[in-house]
């Protein structure tokens, strides 16, 4: 499980769904946060996730 | 695209242009090189003239802007693979800078099939041999590789012997041979790489010049080769997928 935090932009992911859910709930209870869903935009980079590939566009 | 930006010179008699505008244009372009490896070299060349920008330099910067405008739909593709071997490519251009005859080092790093890092930089000193220029480039690429290896180990991704590809056979020989040659006497501090080879941290392998992916970071290429290397680096048009 990996989380990247840059000022107010956070992206996280992991192999275990349980861990991801746990992290999300912990963050939500600690701070006022909402889950935006699958990563599509991060630090000005457009991210497109496909079956086996990830495409990154400025 | 960047053929003409190669062998730029100071252009001392050229028309002076607004320096602060030039600097801010370069600043924005440098920011963009974080996600656009294809413009790294061209922006690096233009960035050297921030001191006294002339009309000819500004024209080149505008050319880069036009190129970006036409290729804004290009992005980097990262694919899933079991292979997580870290490899590096490195190259140097002999006398790449027209003003001071210093060389340009360039390199790129792949984790499996995916491009993860790249650089294009003018070397700090004038070298006497092409091999020396390459050797310096290899040295800086090696330190980057070793750093990335340590970084990956933090993420629990173990690496074996790291492979560094370069297209100069004499460099490979210098790295393996602990004998001081008459002509390599002046290469002293760069023998860092020789230690790494000896300790089996890094191994240097030969790659044909056409397959040298780091070429795109050291010199201006013709359109065909440029496009070829660009797609090998994993830069694709969105519709191509």
In this predicted model, what pLDDT tens digit does every residue of B77-123 receive, in sequence order? Answer: 888 888 889 999 998 887 777 778 888 889 999 998 899 999 998 88
**Rounded to an integer, what is the distance from CA B102 to the centroid of its chain?**
14
User: B35 at the A interface (CB within 8 A)?
Assistant: yes
Q: What digits encode the pLDDT tens for the residues B161-220? A: 999 998 888 888 878 776 666 666 666 656 778 888 888 888 989 999 888 999 999 988
User: A58 at the B interface (CB within 8 A)?
Assistant: yes
Residues 153-172 of B with CB under 8 A from A: 155
Q: Has residue B4 got a pLDDT over 60?
A: no
d(CA B161, CA B173): 18
Residue among B79, B155, B238 minimizing CB distance to A53:
B79
Query: A2: helix, coil or strand?
Result: strand
Q: What digits encode the pLDDT tens for the residues B124-140? A: 878 777 777 888 888 88
CB contact under 8 A, A56 and B236: no
Mean pLDDT in residue range B229-238: 88
Residues 97-116 of B with CB under 8 A from A: none
pLDDT at B2: 47
User: B80 at the A interface (CB within 8 A)?
Assistant: yes
d(CA B90, CA B216): 10
Mean pLDDT in residue range B40-69: 92
Which domain range does residue A14 map to?
Answer: 2-57
Give percent above pLDDT 70 in chain A: 100
Q: Where in B150-201 does DSSP place strands (E)?
A: 162-166
Determine whether B78 is exposed, middle or buried from the number of CB atoms within 10 Å of its CB (0-12, 13-18, 19+).
buried
Sign of CA dihedral B143, B174, B211, B33: positive
Confidence of residue B64 (pLDDT cuts 50, 70, 90): very high
Domains: count for chain A: 1
Residue in the structure block whose two tokens are 């800086």:
B140
Strands A45-49 and A53-57: antiparallel
> Which residues in chain A are contacts of B80 at CB distance < 8 A?
52-53
User: B67 at the A interface (CB within 8 A)?
Assistant: no
Q: b/e for B182-211, b at 16 or more Cβ within 10 A?
A: eebeebeebbebbebbeeebbbbeebeeee
| Closest alpha carbon to B140 in B164, B161, B170, B116 | B164
Query: B45: helix, coil or strand?
Result: helix
Residue among B32, B80, B238 minimizing CB distance to A57:
B238
Going along chain B from its start, the domains and CATH numbers come out as 1-72 (no CATH), 86-218 (3.30.420.10)
Do the beta carbons of residue B200 and residue B162 sit within 8 Å? no
Q: Has residue A7 got a pLDDT over 50?
A: yes
């Amino acid at each position: 499980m990996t989380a990247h935090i840059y000022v107010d932009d956070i992206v996280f992911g992991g192999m275990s769904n349980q861990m991801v859910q746990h992290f999300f709930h912990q963050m939500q209870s600690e701070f006022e946060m909402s889950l935006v869903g699958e990563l599509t935009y991060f630090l000005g980079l457009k991210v497109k996730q496909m079956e086996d590939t990830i495409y990154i566009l400025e | 695209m960047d053929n003409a930006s190669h062998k730029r010179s100071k252009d001392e008699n050229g028309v002076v242009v607004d320096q602060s505008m030039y600097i801010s244009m370069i600043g924005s372009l440098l920011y963009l090189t974080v996600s656009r490896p294809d413009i790294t070299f061209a922006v690096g060349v233009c960035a050297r003239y921030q001191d006294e920008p002339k009309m000819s330099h500004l024209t080149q910067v505008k050319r880069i802007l036009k190129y970006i405008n036409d290729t804004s739909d290009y992005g980097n593709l990262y694919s899933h693979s079991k292979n997580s071997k870290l490899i590096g490519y490195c190259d140097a251009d002999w006398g790449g800078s027209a003003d001071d005859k210093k060389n340009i080092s360039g390199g790129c790093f792949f984790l499996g099939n995916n491009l993860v890092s790249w650089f294009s930089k003018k070397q700090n000193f004038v070298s006497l041999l092409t091999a020396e220029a390459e050797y310096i480039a290899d040295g800086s690429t090696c330190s980057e590789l070793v750093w990335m290896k340590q970084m990956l180990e933090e993420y629990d991704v173990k690496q074996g012997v790291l492979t560094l590809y370069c297209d100069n056979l004499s460099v490979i020989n210098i790295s393996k041979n602990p004998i001081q040659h008459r002509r390599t006497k002046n290469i002293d501090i760069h023998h860092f790489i020789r230690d790494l080879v000896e300790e089996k941290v890094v191994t240097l392998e030969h790659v044909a010049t056409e397959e040298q992916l780091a070429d795109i970071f050291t010199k201006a290429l013709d359109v065909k080769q440029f496009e070829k290397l660009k797609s090998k680096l994993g830069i694709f048009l969105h519709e191509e997928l």
